């Protein structure tokens, strides 16, 4: 089964995302910020990255850029968690190479639908 | 899919409160910088603003996701204002900083209300409006989706990904699949741009498609499929033979999740600590395996190896004990963090200028102690600002800086934690303290006291030298309460002071409440443990020093002081060896500013004991706080000095309590684990 990495500096979001995706059979690994995510991504193969935008140490946009610079992550889908009011950030993320986004707030069903759509 | 979001609520509340504390700390620091700049604009560190913004942003995202719409709405206004400041569209002046601080307070109230399932505070709406007004551009509130548009003749979509389409992690196949899910589609591919095999680059996109969709599909759902790839492709969505259709308006169903009130106390533990525990348990398992192999077919020649193995087991057990206790340890910063705000507010009320300097905030203490040391610390800071720090003009006259400084320091010292609160104020006025104490009959006129003894007087119950009762101190809560609270945690508090230079309160606390330093006392066949912190002295009595007024308790005279005597054998209904007063020992205990003598057979020794709570098994017993298991496996009860002293001073209450104990001691002893 596919491995998904959730990157968020808030534990409740990470817990919600992991629990939801676990419950439909995906393996989920968690990272608290971009720097941690980049380290984990280098260590193992991840099939989908779901990253928050605002994080300490390394934010979501810098993470997308860094991942896209790695050979193994050139084509891996990366989704950003954004809010309605962050259209400019969303564009920056797209330019950096993000695949798409999930708009917060979202519920578990919406999350699973998006993930299924991306992972096929 | 049924996932109950309530399971994430406690984490959300906890991290939101942490975020709020971080926001508050940064805002206070900003306010301090603004204060120092005397009205000139301040160039704040962008990371400071980012930090505050991130906290607000996380609370907004989480509250929306977990169904707290009012919190989401409020934090949206706060976030927007912070975003303006962060992106340089507005400067933060004292007024905005103060507004942000009030908003942070309000947010805390909202989280608290959500946690308790209580209605939201009434002031929220006004503050939300104020945040909105403070923004230079009106905040973009969540836009609702437009009504769906339909096409009578269906849709024709022309879709051609750009060359580097795959580099965003997108896949045309995914999009075609998503379109197929919307309804029956027909697709034709345009292969005209596929190059020669020699020029073919596998990671480039060469294909284009034309897709026909039926009229049952809404424009909105087609847009949604392409939302992520706008700009990465040529896209043309055409409605065929459009006829006017009645717009469909979807009505969102808003059913707020019911908040569970059972907010179980939880603790966040650093991963490193858990890893450490796992390591030790690993070591223990190895040692256990080694030992069991060793004793299988044991021969005396292997004795030294067995001894070495047992020594190893002891070491690991001790490590495990330390590591497990360490899980409950939190940095004192959790308490210190609240104080700058408090100091600011108190100083503002009193019209004084005070700066709080904090160091050692990483010093770790047991979670329970952290929670209970907070009030005493607040009291000391309040006390320093109110009584210690002089008004600015007085300070300048004395050749000191106009603003006072309070230093809070925490550090480890010999198995305890020391917290110091030191101010550079006027120091204790010993003359006035002694005068007040004599007026109140606390010190007899003929008794002479040295300066350290005079300083101690401020801890006496009901002692207060404040000339006027004000909002800040003087609420009838004195330093005696501080000392008592600290003592109930097994610690102590002392004061040192230099006139004109300042005062320092020094709190000493044990690292944990799970283990206590106690004195074991023997009464008949029973052993009791009395925590050392409460023991003032022990002495052997001459019978003529004890008198008993009619109907009252026995009174023992100790150096001019008359203390009630409590015989533990009578209280706990055990048969003591010593009945005559000169055969036993009197332990003088001090609690709540009162002293009493406890009469016991003998003192055994001083030892560290591990506390075991009686509560789940027994009703709360007066005079007993917990139990412990001694080295020989027997159970000893731990005495509650505070309750014993109260009983000694109120004998009727004591008799009732002892009757209760007699009754309950008829039952089988409590099971301890």
d(CA B387, CA B425): 8
Residue of B nearest to A70 (CA): B167
A54 pLDDT exceeds 80?
yes
Nearest to B401 by CA among B357, B354, B358, B359: B354
SS3 of residue B517 by DSSP: strand
Residue indicated by tokens 């299988």? B296
Output the CA–CA distances (angstroms, integers) from residue B137 to B84, B201, B521, in the order listed. 9, 47, 73
Instruction: Check B3 against A104: CB less than 8 A apart.
Output: no
Instruction: Check A11 against B174: CB less than 8 A apart.
Output: no
The first and second tokens of residue A88, run together, are 């400019």
* pLDDT value for B657: 44
Residue of B nearest to A87 (CA): B140
Instruction: Please calculate the CA angle B213-B219-B224 and round it to the nearest 5 degrees.
Output: 100
* pLDDT value for B476: 42
Nearest to B516 by CA among B400, B398, B612, B621: B612
d(CA B131, CA B102): 10
Verify cis geometry, omega within 30 degrees of 0, for the bond prior to B647.
no
The first and second tokens of residue B212, run together, are 């026909």
B626-635: long-range contacts, CB 8 A cutoff, minimum separation 24: B627/B670, B627/B672, B628/B518, B628/B529, B629/B672, B630/B520, B630/B527, B634/B527, B635/B669, B635/B672
d(CA A35, CA A66): 10
B18-21: long-range contacts, CB 8 A cutoff, minimum separation 24: B19/B54, B19/B55, B19/B56, B19/B58, B19/B59, B20/B55, B20/B59, B20/B104, B20/B107, B20/B108, B20/B111, B21/B337, B21/B338
d(CA B44, CA B30): 7
Dihedral pair phi/psi, residue B504, rounded to 5°: -130, 125
Mutate to test the interface with B, among A105, A108, A118 (most CBs of B within 10 A): A105
pLDDT in tens, B552-585: 778 888 887 888 999 999 888 888 887 788 888 9
Dihedral pair phi/psi, residue B547, rounded to 5°: -130, 160
Predicted confidence band of residue A98 (pLDDT cuts 50, 70, 90): very high
Mean pLDDT, rounded, for A17-44: 92
Which of B424-442 are b and which e, b meaning 16 or more Cβ less than 10 Å from the residue's Cβ? Answer: bbbbbebeebbebbeeeee
Mutate to test the interface with A, among B19, B174, B228 (most CBs of A within 10 A): B228
For chain B, the first-to-last Cα distance in angstroms comes to 42
Instruction: Check B61 against A99: CB less than 8 A apart.
Output: no
Q: What is the CA radius of gyration of chain B?
A: 36
The first and second tokens of residue B559, run together, are 């150096």
* pLDDT value for B616: 65
Which of B638-670 are b and which e, b meaning 16 or more Cβ less than 10 Å from the residue's Cβ? Answer: bbbbbbbbbbbbeeeebeebbeebeeeeeeeee
Are B621 and B569 in contact by the 8 Å Cβ rule? The answer is no
* CA–CA min distance B62, chain A (Å): 7
Dihedral pair phi/psi, residue B542, rounded to 5°: -90, 135
Which residues of B make CB contacts under 8 Å with A? 1, 3, 5, 7-9, 11-12, 15, 50-51, 53-54, 57-58, 60-66, 72, 76, 79-80, 139-140, 142-143, 166-170, 173-174, 177-178, 203, 227-228, 231-232
pLDDT in tens, B184-212: 888 888 888 888 888 888 888 888 999 88
Q: How many helices (H) and strands (E) does chain A have?
A: 5, 5
Neighbours of B326 (CB within 10 A): 17
Q: Considering only the beta carbons, identify the residue of A16, A20, A117 that sits closest to B174.
A: A117
* CA–CA min distance B472, chain A (Å): 37
**Which bin fits B332, alpha (ψ -120 to 50), beta or left (φ > 0)?**
alpha
The first and second tokens of residue B381, run together, are 């800071």
* pLDDT value for B143: 41
Residues of chain A with Cβ-Cβ distance to B231 below 8 Å are 94
Can you give the pTM of this predicted structure?
0.52
Residues of chain A with Cβ-Cβ distance to B173 below 8 Å are 120
Instruction: Check B11 against A12: CB less than 8 A apart.
Output: yes
Output the CA–CA distances (angstroms, integers) from residue B420 to A58, B27, B417, B472, B500, in the order listed. 37, 25, 10, 21, 19
Residues of chain B with Cβ-Cβ distance to A80 below 8 Å are none
All residue ranges of chain B with pLDDT < 70 are 1, 39, 137-150, 241-265, 414-415, 462, 464-477, 592, 616, 651-673
Bridge partners (DSSP) listed for residue A31: A7
DSSP one-letter code for B93: -
Residues of chain B with Cβ-Cβ distance to A9 below 8 Å are 54, 58
Q: Considering only the beta carbons, identify the residue of B15, B79, B166 that sits closest to A10.
A: B15
Nearest to B465 by CA among B348, B383, B345: B383
The distance between the two most distant Cα atoms of chain A, rounded to a whole number of Å, is: 34
Instruction: Check B3 against A19: CB less than 8 A apart.
Output: yes
* pLDDT value for B663: 41
């Amino acid at each position: 089964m596919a491995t998904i990495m959730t990157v968020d500096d808030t534990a409740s979001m990470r817990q919600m995302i992991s629990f939801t995706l676990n419950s439909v059979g995906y393996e989920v690994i968690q990272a608290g910020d971009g720097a941690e995510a980049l380290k984990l991504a280098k260590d193992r193969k991840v099939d989908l990255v779901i990253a928050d935008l605002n994080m300490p140490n390394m934010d979501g946009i810098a993470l997308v850029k860094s991942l896209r610079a790695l050979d193994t992550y050139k084509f891996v889908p990366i989704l950003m968690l954004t809010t309605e009011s962050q259209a400019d950030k969303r564009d920056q993320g797209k330019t950096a190479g993000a695949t798409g986004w999930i708009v917060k707030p979202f519920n578990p069903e919406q999350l699973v639908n998006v993930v299924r759509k991306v992972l096929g | 899919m049924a996932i109950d979001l309530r399971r994430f609520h406690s984490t959300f509340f906890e991290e939101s409160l942490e975020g709020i504390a971080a926001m508050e700390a940064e805002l206070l620091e900003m306010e301090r910088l603004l204060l120092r700049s005397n009205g000139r604009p301040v160039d704040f560190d962008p990371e400071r603003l980012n930090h505050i913004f991130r906290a607000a942003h996380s609370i907004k995202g989480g509250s929306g996701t977990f169904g707290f719409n009012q919190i989401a709405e409020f934090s949206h206004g706060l976030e927007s204002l912070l975003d303006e400041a962060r992106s340089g569209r507005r400067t933060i002046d004292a007024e905005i900083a103060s507004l942000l601080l009030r908003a942070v307070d309000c947010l805390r109230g909202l989280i608290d209300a959500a946690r308790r399932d209580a209605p939201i505070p009434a002031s929220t709406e006004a503050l939300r409006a104020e945040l909105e007004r403070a923004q230079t551009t009106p905040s973009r509130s969540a836009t609702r989706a437009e009504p769906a548009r339909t096409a009578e003749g269906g849709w024709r979509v022309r879709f051609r990904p750009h060359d580097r389409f795959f580099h965003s992690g997108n896949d045309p196949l995914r999009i075609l699949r998503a379109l197929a899910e919307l309804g029956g589609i027909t697709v034709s591919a345009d292969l005209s741009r596929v190059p020669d095999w020699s020029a073919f680059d596998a990671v480039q996109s060469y294909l284009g498609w034309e897709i026909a969709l039926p009229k049952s599909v809404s424009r909105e759902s087609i847009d949604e499929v392409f939302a992520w790839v706008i700009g990465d492709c040529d896209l043309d969505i055409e409605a065929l033979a459009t006829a006017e259709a009645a717009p469909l308006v979807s009505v969102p169903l808003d059913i707020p999740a019911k908040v569970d009130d059972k907010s179980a106390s939880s603790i966040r533990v650093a991963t490193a600590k858990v890893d450490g525990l796992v390591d030790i348990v690993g070591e223990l398992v190895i040692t256990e395996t080694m030992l069991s192999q060793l004793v299988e077919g044991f021969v005396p020649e292997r004795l030294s190896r067995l001894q070495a193995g047992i020594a190893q087991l002891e070491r690991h057990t001790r490590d495990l004990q330390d590591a497990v206790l360490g899980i409950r340890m939190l940095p004192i910063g959790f308490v210190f963090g609240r104080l700058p705000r408090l100091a600011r507010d108190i100083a503002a009320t009193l019209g004084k200028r005070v700066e709080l300097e904090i160091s050692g905030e990483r010093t770790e203490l047991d979670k329970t102690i952290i929670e209970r040391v907070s009030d005493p610390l607040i009291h000391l800071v309040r006390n320093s600002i109110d009584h210690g720090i002089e008004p600015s003009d007085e300070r300048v006259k004395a050749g000191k800086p106009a603003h006072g400084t309070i230093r809070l320091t925490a550090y480890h010292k010999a198995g305890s934690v020391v917290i110091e609160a030191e101010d550079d104020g006027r120091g204790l006025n010993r003359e006035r303290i002694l005068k007040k104490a004599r007026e109140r009959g606390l010190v007899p006129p003929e008794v002479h006291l040295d300066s350290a003894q005079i300083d101690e007087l401020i801890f006496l119950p009901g002692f207060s030298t404040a000339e006027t009762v004000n909002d800040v101190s003087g609420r009838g809560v004195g330093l005696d309460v501080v000392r008592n609270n600290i003592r109930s945690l097994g610690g102590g508090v002392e004061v040192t002071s230099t006139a004109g230079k300042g005062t320092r309160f020094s709190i000493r606390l044990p690292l944990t409440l799970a283990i206590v330093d106690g004195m074991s006392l023997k009464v008949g066949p029973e052993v009791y443990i009395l925590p050392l912190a409460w023991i003032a002295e022990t002495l052997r009595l001459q019978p003529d020093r004890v008198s008993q007024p009619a109907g009252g308790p026995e009174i023992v005279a100790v150096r001019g002081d008359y203390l009630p005597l409590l015989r533990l054998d009578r209280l706990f209904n055990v048969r003591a060896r010593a009945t005559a007063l000169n055969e036993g020992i009197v332990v003088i205990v001090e609690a709540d500013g009162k002293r009493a003598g406890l009469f016991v057979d003998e003192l055994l020794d001083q030892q560290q004991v591990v506390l075991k709570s009686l509560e789940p098994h027994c009703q709360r017993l007066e005079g007993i706080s917990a139990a412990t298991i001694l080295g020989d496996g027997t159970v000893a009860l731990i005495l509650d000095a505070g309750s014993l002293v109260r009983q000694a001073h109120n004998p009727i209450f004591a008799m009732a309590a002892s009757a209760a104990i007699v009754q309950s001691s008829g039952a089988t002893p409590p099971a301890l684990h």
